[in-house]
Amino acid sequence: LKSPYSGGHLEVIVGPMFSGKSEELIRRVTRALIARQRVQVFKPAVDDRYHESAVASHTGRTVGALAVGDVADIRAHLSGEGPLLQASAEMPDVIGIDEIQFFGSELVPLALELADAGVRVILAGLDLDFRAEPFGCMPDLLARAESVEKLTAICTQCGAPATRSQRLISGRPARFDDPVVLVGAQESYEARCRLHHVVIH
């Protein structure tokens, strides 16, 4: 897929867990590297220190990435100290960011500034949370993007295309108002279709 946009622009890759978002991000980034473009990939760090890391898909493919604590870390890494990001010799041609649901709403102005400065920005993350509610600033990013790819996984219950992430707490569907972190519980996620996605109210 050759990007149809010549200048800076925003591409967003969304879908539920296991839909291949990381795979698709890795595919696009790998092609940019083959084209000898300057590429920088970021992902959220589990701890909040900068470190060299990699984006890995569930199939095990990887691409080098910088793990960052927050959007300010991304900004600091990219900019000389100025408040606005400028097109410059050091600015990458392509910036990829995985798991964007873990970043705050400051990601929106950053993505727009980068695209305005001529960068091809590729963002990947969950469009919906475990309740099937829009995730954070995703509606804003989807509306502003030049290109949106919605991927599906396979429903673990029926094999249909899965658009949602089922949260299970000790094997049972999670409640709508369960805290995001439940201490001491066994938590897992499955890809599910609309019919088989369950949220207890």
| Residue 155 CB, nearest approach to ligand ADP (Å) | 7
| Residue 12 CB, nearest approach to ligand ADP (Å) | 13
Parallel/antiparallel/unpaired status of strands 120-125 and 94-97: parallel
- Which one from 99, 106, 146, 187 is the annotated catalytic residue? 99
Nearer to ligand ADP, 56 or 182 (CB): 56
Q: In the window 27-66, what residues touch ligand ADP (CB under 6 A)?
A: 57-59
What is the Cα–Cα distance from 150 to 87, expressed in whole angstroms?
Answer: 30
Identify the residue whose tokens are 């964007």: 100
17 binds ligand ADP (CB under 6 A): yes
Q: Which stretch binds ligand ADP (CB under 6 A): 13-21, 36-44, 111-119, 173-181?
A: 13-21
| Residue 194 CB, nearest approach to ligand ADP (Å) | 15
Q: In the window 177-196, what residues touch ligand ADP (CB under 6 A)?
A: 191
| Residue 95 CB, nearest approach to ligand ADP (Å) | 18
Angle (CA) 41 44 50, round 5°:
80
- Sheet (strand 51-56) strand order: 51-56, 62-68, 39-44, 94-97, 120-125, 9-14, 147-150
Q: Using an 8 Å Cβ cutoff, are 122 and 1 in contact?
A: no
The DSSP element (H or E) to which 9 belongs, if any, is strand 9-14
Query: If we measure between CA atoms, which residue out of 149, 80, 150, 137 comes closest to residue 111?
Result: 137
Among 10, 11, 21, 166, binds ligand ADP (CB under 6 A): 21
Size of the site for ligand ADP (CB under 6 A): 15
What is the Cα–Cα distance from 129 to 127, expressed in whole angstroms?
Answer: 7
| Residue 193 CB, nearest approach to ligand ADP (Å) | 10
Q: In the window 139-178, what residues touch ligand ADP (CB under 6 A)?
A: 153-154, 156
Q: Using an 8 Å Cβ cutoff, are 91 and 100 in contact?
A: no
- 99 catalytic? Reply is yes
Which residues make up the interface to ligand ADP (CB under 6 A)?
Answer: 15, 17-23, 57-59, 153-154, 156, 191
Which residues are designated catalytic?
Answer: 99
